[in-house]
Amino acid sequence: MQMLESKTICVYCGSSMGSREVYRDHARELGRAIAEAGFRLVYGGGHVGLMGVVADAVLASGGEAIGVIPRYLANREVAHNGLTKLYIVETMHERKNMMAELADAFIALPGGYGTFDELCEILGWAQLGLHRKPIMILDVEDYWQPLFAMFDRAVHAGFLRPENRAHAVRVRSVSEAFCALGANQHHKK
């Protein structure tokens, strides 16, 4: 995997908190680690759920947090007003495209349909050769295990090539994610 230096990490995660404190703990730890490593965060721009937890942790640790949110969600008062930069776009498609363009790597935390959509789309783009950026799935207490089983089943059934299955890198901890990126999370730039 490529080494990142002073780059931007896109985090996909839930706009809900989830039912377990461990999801919030990992979101906070990831946000702190992004800032401490001297990286920037790009994410969906909300102040709610795990999204807000990650952004708040980045900001509290002195890092930069960049949000991208569709106008209709910003108008529903879910936009995070304390970000380094907030881009307001018109559609979800614009949001996902801008987040992908700004990112140098992707990390998925637990989430629902929106997170599934973002993650599968960026994996599909990698399969098509549209980018060569690392994609890591932070498998907090086996949350993502059923998805990995589906990916493996798709390979076995002949719908997904093993080299494309390899784009979805499973990590079990924040430190493992940063090791995979070749980043020293305790060295602030």
Low-confidence spans in the chain with pLDDT less than 50: 1-2, 184-189
What local confidence, expressed as pLDDT, does residue 188 receive? Answer: 38
Q: For residues 49 and 129, what is the distance between their CA atoms, to the nearest angstrom? A: 32
Query: Tell me: the pLDDT tens digits for 64-83?
Result: 999 999 999 998 879 999 99
123 in a domain, yes or no? yes
The pLDDT of residue 182 is: 80
**pLDDT for 181:** 85
pTM of the model: 0.93
CA distance 73 to 141: 30
User: Considering its fold, how many domains does the chain have in total?
Assistant: 1
Phi, psi of 82 (to 5 degrees): -110, 20
Tell me how far apart the alpha carbons of residues 139 and 109 are, in angstroms, rounded to a whole number: 7
Strand partners, 144: none
Residues 6 or more apart in contact with residue 166 via CB below 8 angstroms: none
Q: Is residue 92 part of a domain?
A: yes
- Segments forming the whole domain that contains residue 108: 8-180
| Alpha carbon distance 18, 111 (integer Å) | 8
The CATH number linked to 91 is 3.40.50.450
Residue 75 has a CB neighbour count (10 Å cut-off) of 11
Give tens-digit pLDDT for 97-120: 999 999 999 999 999 999 999 999
